[in-house]
Structure formats: structure tokens, C-alpha cells
Structure 1
């Protein structure tokens, strides 16, 4: 029998998205309600911010099960990258394009893009996707200029530039190309230590974790990162561990990375600071790490050990990280799966959306249920089985 988690702290960083705590919690509450319908649970939520801020927000959650007789309280803190993302979005289009092309050339010239294709070829195609669209828009501009040269002469070049800018702008809005260009620019700049405001924010997140854990007694502390947030949360966890004692005696503290893209930095030869931080985390036995990957999701490094891929080693006898793979087909009803399976970003976000079928991986069971994460991951537990936890 395993003691249930009665009180948990969750700290969450999502991907490179312009999302405030208010916006995130609005969607979170909707999916929490859907999850409750699936598992026959009742959850209540209340904002618990001492000082509401744009980049940090906390939601107090109380989840109960009348059937199994347990109650778990969760303090869920959302760390927002909104200010950084919006600042990047505000750059003039030519600047955004130039910074992206520099980043693209960097990943290719350093050999990092080649490693994408060797270890996760579908992620490699995802890396090429925005560049291919830029090239297609450039080709359209060139065709327009060539076709108009007979009538406009050198002025046809201006037409070509206009067609290129127009089609790229449309693609940026329709297929998130501008967003992806900024994502790769940010990733390149951050791992090369050229975004001091981002690093300052990571230190602030680490300090916020320390302060909240010092104020309360928790059975479990989860440091969760999704997508690019998986890369960032590894750094935050390392910074947090370096501050003071990461948790009180008896508290399990774990990093949980979901559909992580951390290896886009881990593979890059210039990301020295990033690997040093992950390396320190690997040697700190006070924290565990669970990595969740998925074949259906293009935007992750499926069936890789991220620590080994970075050339790092752990001093532990137990696995670090615990790498688990999931099947989104098994998490969703057939009609829902058919509707979303070809939508690149919708599949990528399923890690943090509510399931519509019972399955061992369930974000809201992990966040709000009584089963410890390590127990759930190691034994692929579905729901909150009474055989595995002692009722409160």
C-alpha cells in the first residue's frame, strides 16, 4: 500500500505561447470539469495569489472522490512566458524574419539539425516546416517578379517583394509560421545566453518555487514543463535545487517533462550552460525526473533518453529520467481521435488536455489525484486504484 498524496504543489511552464495565468486557468478549469466527468470526481478551484502577477498565478484545487473516499488538495502555479513572447511578436516582420534565418542557419551549421533527423526524423521535418514555407513564399515572389518584368522592368522587383511579404504574412497567421520563426529565434538566443531577461525570469520562477514550498507542507512537489517548457523547467529545477533544500523531509520532488523539446538545446554545441544545469540536476538525488513521450506527437523526441543524448550521466542506481511513452489513441474516444490526429499542434497539446478515455497517463489525475507520480509512471496505474493507495 502506498500513502496517498493529500496535498501537492504543481509548478507548470507551457510552451512558447502568449498566455497569461488568467487565460491558462480559464481553459484549465474547463478541462478539469471534463476530467471529473470521466473519473466521477468533484473539483473546486479558487485563485490563491498573494499578489496577482502577469507571469505567475496560483490556483488552489480541491478534488474529492465519493466512491474511493479520498481528497487531494493541489496548489497549481502557472509560470507564464507571456511578456517575452509578446515582445518577440512585436518586432517588425523583417527583423523577425532575419532573426529566424540566423537561427535556422545556426542549427544547420552546428550540426544540430542533422542530429534531429538522426534521432527523431519527424522532429527534423517540424524544424524544416517554417523554412519550407518561407522558401515557398519567396518562390511565389520570384515568379511574380519574373512574370511582371516584361511590363514593369526593375519595378517588378518591388512587386516580387510585396508578393513575398503578403504571402508570408498570410502564412504566418494561417499556419503559425511567424510564431514558429520566433520560437526558433528565442531557442537559439536563450541557449546561447543572449536573452538575459529570460534567464532573470527563470531565476524568479525558481525563487517562487522555493518560497511556496517553504510556506506549506506538501506530500509531493511536481515541476512540470510541456514542449519548450520542458527545456525551461529543467533549468528552473536546477536553479531551484541550487537555492536551498529543495523540499522538506518526506516530500517527493519530481520534474515532469511532457512532449519536451529540450534536446533542441541539448544537441547544440553552444548550449553549454543548459547542459551544465541539467548535469547538476542529474547529480542531485533529492529530485526525480519523469519524461513522457509520444509517437503520434511530431514535436518531441520519441524513444530517446534525454540525459544520455546530451552526453550526461547520473550518479543514481534508479532510472533518471524515467522515460515513458504514451498512445494518444488510447487516451481519446475514437471519434475525438479521428478529429484531432492530423492536427499537429492539437495532438501536441493533448498532454495537458483532459482525456476522454481512461488511461494510465492523465494530466488531471497526475495533478489532482492521490497517486504519487512515480508510482503511476512505474506501474502504469489507471485512475486512482484503491489497491495502490491508502484512503484518507
Structure 2
């Protein structure tokens, strides 16, 4: 086995979720325990250390079995201030921003490009809009019923009642069914791709600077820049900032690899106004030394299955050579990652399926998030050769 890893850095950015470092690492601890049982390894995790600005949570993870041991410095980039700030915006303004976004995606043709890339993702994008239509229909029904009764002042009373019903449904069922969350996600995506989120841009730049500094400071064998869901777009941005901060980033000892899991980066990259984002990704292509592995899954509707994001964004491809394709796209089967009972329980829960990329498997499989992050085999070797887990024997030896 080549490319044995004894020390690794993982920098992780998740989706558009209000998750604290404590909650993220609390879940990570539980999921690692599940992974340990599958592979027969032991893991110790340090207490969570939060940066002074609250933007980065860190733990040190030591994983060992048989004749190997790997230390992982795991950093989680915290987005909860950005997300919670959006959630705190008055509901009428959130609705307006969403409707402007939707009109933008239709007028620019981006909605149709998303459908062409993945019709299932296109339907996922339409879900909040469809539910708004349902809520509006309910409000209209109540308002018209009052008007038809011919009560004094029925017209203004019906209009007011209709609005109350609409916003009442949006505030209650909209929150319970993740509709307002997805509205804010899409509004954020539009503002971000158009360069109208200076708060996010500044934080992503600081994340890139941190990666560049840590790559010089510590003697790593491998550096993984991992993004899940919307984080699949944001981690490409972060990687671009890191490369701009240190042009030698991928030319030192550590192999640098971007890993995108269930990525929705094309919702950014396919918009005509996302030129700055595409140029950032092009710098990663042109670097020639940074690897990129993209994990996709048919069961997950919230990703672009069987697509090449570089090709769909019409970027210049990396020249053929000794490096991996950029990106190296691998499809996974969640049925093969999970026991039958677990798979049957989650397969109709779209959001739960979408998070399985970063949850613990219940069966041995070539893709295992915790062996990617904590095991002794590099992501480059694992992805290229379809190494099951971390290439371990039954006794946990390499």
C-alpha cells in the first residue's frame, strides 16, 4: 500500500445550516463510534477548541489499529452566524428576496440549465416555490369565501384574511417543512454568486488564509478540503483563496485534495453571473497539482448525479498527465453502504439521505467518510483504486 498517511489536516465546510462547532463534533463523535465498530479500529478525540472569532472549531483525532496510526487535525468552518442572520430577517423580506431569486433563475435560463444537468435537482429547486403556490391558494380560498358571504367590508376583510392565512402557513408549516430554510438558501446562493454577500466572502477568504498558514506551519502528509452540499461550492472558493494566499500550497510535502460530497456547486456555477466563481475554479484546474474528488449518488436527489462540473461550467480542462482527472467523479451506492433496515428507513427521507455522505456507514464500502478523514490511506489512492474503506485487513493491518 502506497501513500500511507500518518498526519492529515481536514478542513470541512457543510451546507447552509445553523450548526455550531459543538453540535457538529458531537454528531461526529457518535458517527465515528459507528465506523469504529465496522473497521475494528480505536479512536480518541480531543475536546472542541473554538477560535477566538468563533469561525473555526477544531479537534485532534487519533485513529489506530494493528500496525498503523493516523493523526487528524479536523477543522470545521462555522457558518451559523451567516445562516441565523438570514433566518432573523422579517418573513416578508425573506419572501421577496426568494421571489426575486426565482425570477432571476428563470430569466437567466439557469433554472433550465439545472434541469438539463439533473431533472431531479430541478424538481428539488421547485419545491419551495410549489409550496408557496399551495399556501397562496389556501389564502385565496379563505379570502374568496369571505367575499362571497357578502359581509360588510368583505373585500378588505377577505384580502386581509387571505394574507394572514398565507403568512401563517409560511411561518408554521414553512418552517416545519424546511420551506423557509430553502428559500433563504436559494436567496443566499443568488447573492453569493453575484458578489453581494461581503460577510460570506470575507469569512471564506479568512478560511483560505488559515489553510495556507497551517499548511506551512505543520508537517502534514495530506490536506483535505471537504465540502458537503452547498459547502461543495464554498470549499472550491476557499481552496481558490488558499491557493492565492500561497501559490506553493500543493507543491510541498502534503498532497492537497478537494473532496466534494453531494455537491450543489452547479447551482452557482451554471448561472451566467457566476463568472468570479468559475474563474476561481479555473485557477484550481490550472494549478495542476491540487486534486479534486467528487462523490455523487443516484439515491440523493440533492446533487448532480453523473455530471462533470468542470465540463458543465465550460471551463478549460486540465491537461492530461500523471495527475488524476479534475475532478475525479465517483458514484456511490448507499444501498451498499448501509444495512438493509437502515437503508429502508432513510431512503424516502431526502434530507437524511443527503447527509449520509458525512454519517457513519453500517457496512464496509469503498467510500467511508471517517476512513477518508481518519484512515491511513490517502484519498488520492482510495479514489483512484476504489480501496475498500482504508485498505484494512480483518485485523486492522495495512
User: For 1:51 and 1:236, how far apart are their aligned partners in 2?
Assistant: 18
User: For 2:267 and 2:392, how far apart are their aligned partners in 1?
Assistant: 40
CA contact (8 A) 2:318 2:325 kept: no
CA contact (8 A) 1:213 1:247 kept: no
User: For 1:109 and 1:302, how far apart are their aligned partners in 2?
Assistant: 25
What residue in structure 1 maps to residue 35 of structure 2? 35
User: For 2:227 and 2:289, how far apart are their aligned partners in 1?
Assistant: 18
What residue in structure 2 maps to residue 94 of structure 1? 92
Number of residue pairs the alignment of both structures matches: 388
User: For 1:296 and 1:147, how far apart are their aligned partners in 2?
Assistant: 43
TM-superposed CA distance for 1:250, in Å, is: 2.5
3-state SS of 1:78 partner: strand
1:323 aligns with 2:313: no
User: Deviation per CA, 1:279-312, whole angstroms, max 9, x where unpaired?
Assistant: 1111011211000100000000000000000000
What residue in structure 2 maps to residue 291 of structure 1? 294
**Among residues 370, 374, 377, which one is paired with 2:380 in the alignment?**
374
Decide which moves more: 146-155 or 227-236. 146-155
User: For 1:26 and 1:50, how far apart are their aligned partners in 2?
Assistant: 14
User: Deviation per CA, 1:360-384, whole angstroms, max 9, x where unpaired?
Assistant: 0000010000111011111111123
What residue in structure 1 maps to residue 136 of structure 2? 138
What residue in structure 2 maps to residue 249 of structure 1? 252
Matches within 5 A, 1:12-27: 12-27=12-27
User: For 1:31 and 1:255, how far apart are their aligned partners in 2?
Assistant: 22
Uncovered stretches (5+) of structure 2, i.e. residues with no partner = none
User: Deviation per CA, 1:227-247, whole angstroms, max 9, x where unpaired?
Assistant: 000000001101101111214
User: Deviation per CA, 1:64-110, whole angstroms, max 9, x where unpaired?
Assistant: 113xx110000000001111001000000000000011111111111
3-state SS of 2:46 partner: strand
TM-superposed CA distance for 1:22, in Å, is: 1.2
What residue in structure 2 maps to residue 359 of structure 1? 365
User: For 1:49 and 1:142, how far apart are their aligned partners in 2?
Assistant: 52
TM-superposed CA distance for 1:391, in Å, is: 6.7
What residue in structure 1 maps to residue 82 of structure 2? 84
3-state SS of 2:271 partner: coil
What residue in structure 2 maps to residue 173 of structure 1? 175
4+ aligned runs moved over 4 Å, structure 1: none
**Among residues 168, 186, 189, which one is paired with 1:187 in the alignment?**
189
**Among residues 217, 220, 223, which one is paired with 1:215 in the alignment?**
217
User: For 1:32 and 1:107, how far apart are their aligned partners in 2?
Assistant: 39
CA separation of 1:349 and 1:153: change in aligned 2, threshold 3 A: same
CA separation of 1:166 and 1:386: change in aligned 2, threshold 3 A: closer
CA separation of 1:300 and 1:50: change in aligned 2, threshold 3 A: closer
CA contact (8 A) 1:224 1:256 kept: yes
User: For 1:377 and 1:24, how far apart are their aligned partners in 2?
Assistant: 25
What residue in structure 1 maps to residue 273 of structure 2? 270
Uncovered stretches (5+) of structure 1, i.e. residues with no partner = none
TM-superposed CA distance for 1:48, in Å, is: 6.5
